[in-house]
Structure 1
């Protein structure tokens, strides 16, 4: 009998399924039921905490979030604004650092470790204490020492924009470790022969960046964009996450807290779908026909 050979594309798909199988099994065992129960809980009001006595309220919790809760909508908009501002800054800064670290310089391994070190301690108690101490708010701006006359000359609107940008830099520096490593992996996967051929044709480094580097790392850019959005919206210090947790477990409004969580989740999910669909034609995958 003739042996049936598996094509290269099929092997790649099978390898992908093998890699995601542990996550899929873990999700089905430990996450699927809690998610389904929280969705069911969002349409109810908890009247008895001990035995979870529930009373169906339909869409009442969702209506309360947008019509009655005076804190949810302003906080929701503020969190979105922070993500919209921080995400491009994180991507641009991490790509810039990755390009620098991709060159052969002395101490390259040390600098790579230095940029990844905040990932190990940034989500723990140390980072929380730094944030409580004011890091990321006024600390960096005061350290730079921008004269007050400069802000007066720029006007209130532009000076506030500059002040907000400077105040974000400390936190942004702490959130670029994973992105830098992913960009490094993408940059090192670009064949050196492409750059050598372009230089022989007279291309400059600037042209190489726009014609070779940027298109070939576009899948990594999309990956970092998705990762940064998810990391920003689900960070332990995210004010919306704190508000949902306090609503559900401190104020003992588990049904309403579940509805807030699902509103927040659906927004993030739809945002990521929109990002992927809008950038689909801009992504260059090597090896495609």
Structure 2
């Protein structure tokens, strides 16, 4: 009996299909119908009827209203994109720096890694819902915390700006560093998953490469940029895409879309906003992925 032999490319294709099959099955049975329904809503005017709802086809009117008539959607969308462009480099730098430190050998390394992953757990939806319901209080008295933060930040910021200016950094870099320091809590709370991904990438780098670099007299700075950074660059691309999607997930745009649908009962306009938001995110991911993929080093 002759057995059919498959090429390496075919086997890899089947393996890839096997990996994405859970997502594909879930998409077909759980998300495909709501996705098509949202397209219908975005092109129609929805009216509540006694037997459910009625749809009146209006074409691209909802998209025109979202872009040209709605007073806040464009501003919120642009602000969300600007915030994302500021947050992604901060989160990636902090995540890679923290993962490099946690990859060193020291006592209590496991506990330190768990501590840095705690913000991910504390920022979860279950904990957030419990805090909003008053069941728990993670931040204590919010007014006292904000007053203490503002009082301490004003002195520290002046000192930091003066120190960086004396070093000779341009003002644009000083503003960016100060902005990162002022938002350190948000950066830490958004970096847990990225730290774990970078940590896994650092642990996959062969130790023999560092031994050869040390024998050749390479400094720690040269070792990082010549070995560590190229070897973890594929995961940098992964973290960039993940961070962009994660930053959009809880942005003010999603809140505006929710309020438009369930508070003003304008489901057509809300669906149009959702699709515009999706197209913007897809365009950003396409551009960022294309630019970064050309600089990724695959060993």
> Which residue in the other structure is 2:291 paired with?
278
Q: Is the 8 A contact 1:183 1:217 kept in 2?
A: yes
Q: Deviations over 1:122-153 (max 9, x none)?
A: 02254465699769x956843744329938x8
> Which residue in the other structure is 2:84 paired with?
83
Query: 1:278 aligns to what SS in structure 2?
Result: helix
Q: How many Å apart are 1:5 and its aligned residue?
A: 4.5
> Which residue in the other structure is 2:28 paired with?
28
Give the number of aligned pairs: 281
Q: Is the 8 A contact 2:98 2:195 kept in 1?
A: yes
Q: Is the 8 A contact 1:43 1:56 kept in 2?
A: yes
Choose which of 186, 189, 213 in structure 2 pairs with 1:171.
186
Indicate how the Cα distance of structure 1 residues 134 and 61 shifts in structure 2: closer, same or farther if over 3 A, else same. Answer: farther
Distance across 2 between alignment mates of 1:45 and 1:14: 43
Choose which of 204, 208, 211 in structure 1 pairs with 2:219.
204
Matches within 5 A, 1:44-63: 44-48=44-48, 51-63=52-64
> Which residue in the other structure is 1:240 paired with?
253
Structure 1 gap segments, 5+ residues each: none
> Which residue in the other structure is 2:276 paired with?
263
- Over the aligned positions, Cα root-mean-square deviation in angstroms equals 2.8
Q: How many Å apart are 1:191 and its aligned residue?
A: 0.4
Structure 2 gap segments, 5+ residues each: 133-137, 163-170
Query: 2:154 aligns to what SS in structure 1?
Result: coil
> Which residue in the other structure is 1:146 paired with?
154
Q: Is the 8 A contact 2:99 2:196 kept in 1?
A: yes
Q: How many Å apart are 1:82 and its aligned residue?
A: 1.0
TM-score of the two chains, using structure 1 as the length reference:
0.87
